[in-house]
Structure formats: C-alpha cells, structure tokens
Amino acid sequence: MTAAAAIQKAKAALALTSNYAVAYAVKAADVDVVAVYPITPQTTIVEKIAEFVDDGELNADLIHVESEHSAMSAVVGAAAAGARVFTATSSQGLELMHEVLHIASGLRLPVVMAVPARAISAPISIHGDYSDVMNTRDTGWITYIASSAQEVYDTVIQAYKVAETTLLPVMVSYDGFLMSHTTEPVELNDEEAVKRFLPRRERPNVLRPEKPITMGAFAMPDWYYEIKYQVQEALASSLKTIEEVDAEYGKAFGRSYGIIQTYRMEDADYAVIAYGGAAFGNAREAVDVARERGIRAGAIRLRVWRPFPADRLLKQLAGVKAFAVIDRAIAFGSPGGGPAFIDVATALYMGGMDVPGLSVIHGIGQRSMYVEDFVKVFEMLKDGERNKVVYMGLRL
C-alpha cells in the first residue's frame, strides 16, 4: 500500500447538520461522561448523543442536569476524576455557565464543549450571532470557530487531543441555525482509527482515593497570581499544539485546516477578516466579485479565536493597504466596535505595524449578510474609509 493510500478513508459520508456532526465526533472520541441540558439551537446535539447511548453505540454516562451551570459543574467534576467529558450549550446557557468556565481553565481540566453561537437576550433572540462566544474570550478556554459541518466534526475530534495535551478546556463554536440546523455532506472517520488518534493519556493530577490530592484550594495573594499566569502561558503555547494536532489529523484522515485560512491574499491590497461559516463563505465570494471590479481583494478567516493568532495575522496584513474586520458581536462601549477588530488592532500596534483598519459590525441577531455587503466593504476600503466603526445592515 502506498503512503497516500495509507491515509485513513472515511467509513461513511452522511448528510448531517453541524449539530449532528458534533454528536458523531463525540461518539468517535469515545467519551466517558456527557452532561446535558437543552437550549436552542444546541438541543439536537445532546438528543443525538442520547440516541447513541440508548442504542449502545456510545458507552457513556449521560447526566441530565437542571441547568447549564450544573452541566459545566458536572463535567468539571468528572474531568477532575480523570474522565473524558463533553457538554454543549448556547446563548444564555453559556452565560449561566460563565463562572464555571473559569474554574475549568483554572483547574487545567481538558473539558470539550460545543457552542452553536446564538444572540443574547434582551430582547430574546434564538438566532445566530457570536455575542455569547465573544463573552467567553477572557475565561482561559481554547476556542475554535468552524465554518462547515465537516470542519465541526474534525475539530471536535482534534479538540480532545489538544485539550488532553495542553490540559486546557476547548470550545468548538459555529453559526447557530445557519450551521447547526443546515445539512451538509460529512465524511465520518473509522472509529477505531479515531481511537488510535486519541489514546488515553495519564494525567498528572486527578482525583483518586488511593492518592488523595486537593483541587480548587484557596490561594493566598502570594500564589494566586502565579497560578493564573500559568493558564496564560499554557494558552499562549497551545497554538503550537493546535497546529501540530491539525497536521497530525491531516496525515491520518486527509483533512486539515490550519490556524487561519486565507483566500487570494498573495497580492491583495485590501483584506477582510471574518469568522464563522456565513461570514467567510460570503467574504470569499465577495473577493472574486471585487476583483472583477478591479479591486485587489483578499479574505482571512479566523479559525482559532483563543489564543489569538497575532503573528499569523500580521504576516498576512504586512503587504495590504487597509483591512476590515467583520464582527458578528458588539463590544459594547468600546471604541473598537467589535471584539475581533480590537484584537487585530492591538496585535498590529504591539507588532509595530501601521495598517489602517475598518471595524464592521454585521449579522447581529442573524441579520442577513449578503455578498454585496462584503463587496461594499472592499469598496469602502478602496475609497479611503478608515479608522471608524460601521454598523452594516442596520435599519435607521
């Protein structure tokens, strides 16, 4: 057998929503404990996992809890005891979990969670933007933002290896409804091959009766700072692990994605930075349209949001005349408008680069984002609009 033929082939190609893709990835990862609490648009993930458990396809303890706070607390406890764990949530559920997110990272527990992103109340919206995910940016979680059901499936599997290598929790997010409830073709890996890719690791600190340890102890001022700094250092160094795991996954299964993805950036004068499925899909199409109109446009997709891939972005922006960030969340009260724009602008300043930018807010509450909107952004950049916040698609 040739080296190319040795790459693991998909055992099946199914039509799956991104939510179902998560469930199949969790089954392939052979998790031990799943804590579930329903919230739109996450519910069908745990419904499908419950089917797998009930049918005997997944040997996991399925814990029905009374809230999302309890769901995260349950997987924190199970992970502390050495289990491979999973949970999922969206919107207000993620907000209710928020205090426990810090505990998962502070205790260095390899929790994996899926978040089909959804707008936050009030007013109530069940539709997709990234307000919920962006609110977790300072919780110490590695955070992916996927752009297809196939990538969701692959990333959840990668997330377990990344989490168990770095001893950090990992969140895999993607567009609520626009991806969570949209069906796409997904290639499924042979589950035995996934188990070989994800061998069980002996973790240094777990709760065992025969070797008692203390977790979550009180920290006085002479130690608390250092412990939190260790989380920051682990996050900063995790980019290397994320990249290595992605490359290893590509060799094993034939699919990999990198830290960021680019489209026609080689000679671009103007760049749009976006995240999620709808944003980057339309951004790429807009690049082609803009180039037909004489604008040398390019697009960059953020696949990894935390840790922020500053160095990789700076390399891509080094040759452009101006850039725009399309944010699907509002950083309320900030002069930067959107959270991703703030990080890009900070990275440029810290890197000593003076590239003018435009902060564009769009897609809030799943407001429709058309290709022509993205083309308009390229035209604005070409026409010299700089250093301002634009609320695109807003009715005034």
Domain 260-391: CATH architecture, name and number where available = 3-Layer(aba) Sandwich (3.40)
Mean pLDDT, the chain, integer: 95
Angle at 147 between CA 343 and CA 395, to 5 degrees: 70
Residue 24: strand, helix, or coil: helix
Residue ranges per structural domain of the chain: 15-253, 260-391
Long-range Cβ contact pairs of 338-343 (< 8 A, separation 24 or more): 338/389, 339/134, 339/137, 340/134, 340/273, 340/275, 340/302, 340/305, 343/308, 343/310
Angle (deg, nearest 10), helices 277-292 and 371-382: 60
Question: Which of these, 240, 233, 283, lies nearest to 261 by C-alpha position?
Answer: 283
Question: What was the pLDDT predicted at 5?
Answer: 45
How much is the pTM? Answer: 0.96
Q: Which pair of structure tokens corresponds to residue 147?
A: 């752009």
For the stretch 96-146, pLDDT in tens is 999 999 999 999 999 999 999 999 999 999 999 999 999 999 999 999 999
pLDDT at 3: 44
The per-residue pLDDT for 279 is 77
By the 10 Å C-beta count (0-12 exposed, 13-18 middle, 19+ buried), 162 is classed as: buried
Alpha-helix runs per DSSP H in 107-220: 131-134, 149-166, 191-197
The CATH homologous superfamily of the domain defined by 15-253: Thiamin diphosphate (ThDP)-binding fold, Pyr/PP domains (3.40.50.970)
Calpha distance 342→36 (Å, rounded):
34
Q: What is the mean pLDDT of each run of 10 residues along the chain (396 residues)?
A: 49 92 98 97 98 98 97 98 98 98 98 98 96 98 98 98 98 97 97 97 90 92 96 97 98 97 97 91 96 98 98 97 98 96 98 97 95 97 96 92
The DSSP output letter for 266 is T
> CATH topology of 15-253 equal to that of 260-391?
yes
Residue pair 114/156 in contact (Cβ under 8 Å)? The answer is yes
